[in-house]
Amino acid sequence: MLKKIPASRLRQGMFIHDLNCSWMDHPFLRNQFLVEDEEMLRKIAEAGIGELYIDTGRGLDVAPEESPGSAPVGGATATFPEKLATGTPALVNEVARAKKLHHEANKLVSGLMRDVRLGQQIEVEQCEPVVEAIIDSIFRKPDALLPLAQVKNRDEYTFQHSVAVAALAAAFGRTLELPRAVIKELAIGGLLHDVGKALVPDAVLNKPGKLTDDEFALMKNHAALGAQLLKKTPGISEIAYNAAAQHHERFDGTGYPLGLKGDDISLYGQMLAIVDVYDAITSLRIYHKGMPPTEALRNMFQWSKQHFSPTLVQAFIKGIGIYPAGSLVRMESGRMGVVREVVPDKLLQPVVKVFFSAEKRCYLPPETVALAECDDKIVAHESFEKWNIDQAAWL
């Protein structure tokens, strides 16, 4: 059982499950450990940690009269009422941090895939600091990291896709108001969901043309291979495992590797299936161009009648916006720009960085426009490839 307690009530013999802060904001090598002495308690106090999560199954509990609210992490309905965001820094500052984080996360996944190819065991603890940082960024300003996750290099798609799925999963968990501890495990599942691809031959994985039936069978097998790898991985949680192992299952039973149907698929598997497909169809890949996010969301809404839970798809769309951050849009005035910030209660009126004239086909002096505060409005989504615009340059 996980419990959130004030750090002032922490004592020796308790097992810390989550320090509830960025890995850069505490002095410990791990986020999970047994409190063994007064020195550890002193370091936690000096780090300024206000609240944290303990695991009463692996260490001491708080005294009954002190017991705060708790909830099991394994169930789909577990919730905590707290808001995880601790402030909203300026977008420009968060983008700088997000770019560094995005680079480090891609390096991590690349290394994990290399280790799997060499027959080495996956170490979940390697993932935790990056996942913590991803969650911190998403809760400070999701519009900083999520657009970066859209930009991919064909040669590094597998690594970058895993990072994007982890970030989208964290954002989705935030929308559903899941506990931070649950979001962390969900994001770890996202980061590791494609580890089975490390065992797929490169000739198949990176083939630019259509796969043969035999090649497609090899590619599909990555889901089963990944599940086998994760099943043997020490420290993998049930949430992370189910999210990763079930990301190709479909609500109507047409998915793989087990052909699970409906609620036989865990909440976390259903969530990861949605974000995996969304990121895949919006990404530039070896064998196809990316679909504009708004068009992708429209298609996923249609597919939700068979492949996904309609309720979850609607929640996902609400969370990332009708025009997600990073989208290229055209306004009624003929100006074009990139969506920089989604306004939750005004999904059709995001903040847009305007920089291009569709009529004159030329660049304009960049201007940030809050559509809720002006007469202009979005009339269409556009493709970066069609207009030969470098998406990364405008994020």
**β pairing state of 51-55 and 362-370:** unpaired
Instruction: For tokens 């259903």, name the residue.
Output: 270
How far apart (Å, rounded) are the C-alpha atoms in residues 279 and 335?
27
More confident call, 365 vs 284: 365
Contact criterion met (CB below 8 Å) for 162 and 190: yes
Is pLDDT above 50 for 248?
yes
pLDDT at 81: 30
Which region holds residue 61: left if phi is over 0, alpha if psi is between -120 and 50, else beta? Answer: beta
pLDDT at 60: 87
Dump pLDDT digits (tens) for 26-79. Answer: 777 677 888 888 888 888 888 888 888 888 878 888 876 444 444 333 333 333
Confidence of residue 203 (pLDDT cuts 50, 70, 90): confident
What is the average per-residue pLDDT within 93-101? 88
Is pLDDT above 90 for 189?
yes
How far apart (Å, rounded) are the C-alpha atoms in residues 63 and 60?
9
Closest listed residue to residue 5, CA positions, set 28, 27, 35? 35
Does an H or E element contain 120, and which? none
What is the average per-residue pLDDT within 212-223? 93
Could you tell me the CA-to-CA distances from 103 to 130, 147, 151, 391 in Å, in that order?
Answer: 11, 14, 12, 17
How far apart (Å, rounded) are the C-alpha atoms in residues 117 and 307?
32
What is the average per-residue pLDDT within 238-242? 97
More confident call, 262 vs 50: 262
What percent of the chain has pLDDT above 90? 58
- Please report how the helices 180-192 and 238-245 are oriented relative to each other, as an axis angle in degrees rounded to 10: 40
How far apart (Å, rounded) are the C-alpha atoms in residues 356 and 71?
50
pLDDT at 18: 82
Mean pLDDT for all residues in the chain: 86
Confidence of residue 210 (pLDDT cuts 50, 70, 90): confident
What is the average per-residue pLDDT within 333-361? 93
Confidence of residue 275 (pLDDT cuts 50, 70, 90): very high
pLDDT at 172: 97
pLDDT at 71: 38
Dump pLDDT digits (tens) for 117-128. Answer: 999 999 999 999
Out of 221-230, 284-293, 365-374, 381-390, which region has the weakest mean confidence (pLDDT)?
284-293
What is the average per-residue pLDDT within 194-205? 91
Exposed (0-12), middle (13-18) or buried (19+): which is 179, by Cβ within 10 Å?
buried
Q: Does the model's pTM come out above 0.85?
A: no
At 256, the amino acid letter reads Y
